Structure 1
Amino acid sequence: MTDLLSPMLLPDSSWVRRSAHRLWLAAQGRRLLRFGAASRMTGGFGALGVDGTLPDGAEADGILTARMVHAFSMGALQGIPGCLPLVRHGVEALLGPLHDARHGGWFEVASAPENRKQAYLHAFVALAGSSATLLGVEGGKRLLDLATGVLENHYWSEDEGVMRESFARDWSDEENYRGANANMHSTEACLALADITTDGKWLDRAARIVHRFVHEIAGAHEHCMPEHFDRNWTLLRDYNRDKPTDPLRPYGMTPGHFSEWAHLTLKVEAALLRKTGTAPGWMLPDARALLASALRYGWAPDGKPGMVYTIDWDHKVHVPVRAHWVQAESVTAAVNLLKRTGSGEYEVWYRRIWDYIANTLIDYDQGSWRNEVDADGHLSGEVYADKADLYHAYQATVAPFLPLAPCLTLALRESDIV
């Protein structure tokens, strides 16, 4: 069973049914791809400056390179010229200078090989490998095999049903930490691996991660998502209190991640339905509750539009800047719940968030989206100083017209969207 019938639940007036809306999203997606192509550099892809050029001293970044492989794979699967060579470039980089030939795994930057190996990075490498393999790019299957081996041998904790967090370069010195962020992106990677490798264990793992974090942890916290734990699963309430703008592990809670977990939960549900015809009954209610909490505590809490970066344990704004990815994941959660339920409240939010993105984040002069703005919509750099990469924004332009399962790349290959 798939959710291919879910568009039948859409109201006749839904933007998703309108050809003008489809064409607008397609145009935005093409602009993102054109802008992102400039991030190609020797050894992979680097972070672009606000003007869309690589700054002096830019280095190829492992996370960005893996994300670019995935994003340009989606473009290539849609038949957009220019994307395939960029996928090949990224795969070569991930099999070359960004790969640790001595110990296995990947570097975030090749110039700092002694930095810790994070599950967050490796989840994106696995996603990139799955996308390149589906596209049939040379080296894609090798990248996929290497990445799945690393996840299997080092990160996956069978007893806990989650991914371990990080290690030293030689896989010693496991970090005393369990984090929601790396496991969230590992859920997406596991869903893609399940579809591309056809190995059902990856879907089982995605379901176990979601059960732990969404049903158990967020369910015990009013469907808000605490992110930081030690290896004994003690909640670290003061973690990074002195680093409130950390880009991966900020203090407090991140409403944008509530949204992201919401639509990932729907995708796990759809994948289970597609495979077995059944899924746990808590998945849809929990997904709805997660997005409700994100909007209740994160959207315009200071009276100004947009979803804030973080909130504290009293659900008050802690870091008020509006990051691009937070809005992208929230609009995706809204449309996926709209497709899943047909409820008009999600159409309202889908339109509201896109209006905010269109009027505040899209940079019509220099390209792409502004990575971060303040409450008044002015360019900010408290958390993210460079220009947004493709991953979150581009997926937001294609997800509205695709089913919840299979994974985005396979759905794109099987569909014909504008």
Structure 2
Amino acid sequence: MSANTKTSRKVARYAVPVAVAGVAAATVAMVPAFANAGGPDLPKVTAQQLIEKIAASDVQELSGTAKISTDLGLPTIAGGLLGGSGVATGSAAPEDKVAQLASGTHTFRVAADGPDRQKLTFLDGKDEYSLIHNGADVWGYASKSNEVFHEKNAAGAPEDKKAADRLAASPQQLAEEVLKAAGTTTDVGVGDTAQVAGRDAYQLVLKPKQAGSTVGSIQIAVDAKNGVPLRVQLLSSQGGKPIVDAGFTKVDFAKPSADTFAFTPPKGAKVTEGSDERGRGEHGKEFKALESFPGLDALTGGANGKGEVKVLGEGWATVAQINTGAGKGLTDLEKSANDKNAPKEAKQFLDSLGDKVSGKFGEGRIFSTRLVNALITDDGKVYVGAVTKDQLVKTADSAK
């Protein structure tokens, strides 16, 4: 057996659990009802042993059903914009569907057969959206609009090889890297056991040591038998339901049939290749209007993207300071929003910003969600981080 073959098998061995965790964490949330009250009685494990268990999982095939729910506490206008054009038009572009997941609850079916074949089918009412990776091809299909998105997967790029090398590391190495990455600002431990999708699970818990973070903890439910992450929850430091809660409601670790990943564009479907300009839909027009609104470029790095970014603090209390370099700030936005020629979306956006705040930094407004807060100042600076409003103002005051 060649060294390349061995490496490929190692990559496949670790890629599926990592991919499942990534889908759960990156695409959004799951409902807390997945965990039954009074968890199962399981042998005790340490945090490092549990991380090793995740990394050592040899599961390459699975199928099941999951739910994702997200409660970011977004203002109405922001939630609508982040809903993406996929909501209004049934766009097949993957980024549109991902944007839609920024709020609400969604159900999907998932199937995986190694690192080269995965499928997600989102079920929103009678309409379906499928995202399929089958070898070199990535397909997106929206039944509502009968639109298809197609892109060739650029496998073998240097970045992919680097990622593959990391995935091929031993479970012990991976566990040590995760714990090291958590650093001195994070408590890593094992929480109560749970039952997720009818399977016994341990829970790996990451908690910020620092005060001021909007994150209370991140809890990852791990299958007690095979080490596959079954649910990821992002809990708020202010309590209440999870900000993000993503997990399986049903899961089967048998190999999916080959035709699960086969896809042929339906007759009459509009097919858009990845290199083509992607359709924006009605909400795309809103984004375009906002981009053309005088002053809004100050929130995105200034004219021609020349803004400077400075990182303040560390760990969970990290805040990005963006000096837009546009020479415009909140005052300019307010003036422009009241201009008779300004698009209505600009005024709606401005109205979604919070009340005025002041400090050593000057004056500004805080755009607030349950996870991320952003302070937009009158002199054109932006401070943003997963920290509370008070911590954000405190950081802005101490910035040089």
Q: Does TM, scored on the shorter chain, surpass 0.5? A: no
Structure with the greater alpha carbon radius of gyration: 2
TM-score norm. by structure 1 comes to 0.28
Give the strand-richer structure, 1 or 2.
2
Give the helix-richer structure, 1 or 2.
1
TM-score norm. by structure 2 comes to 0.28
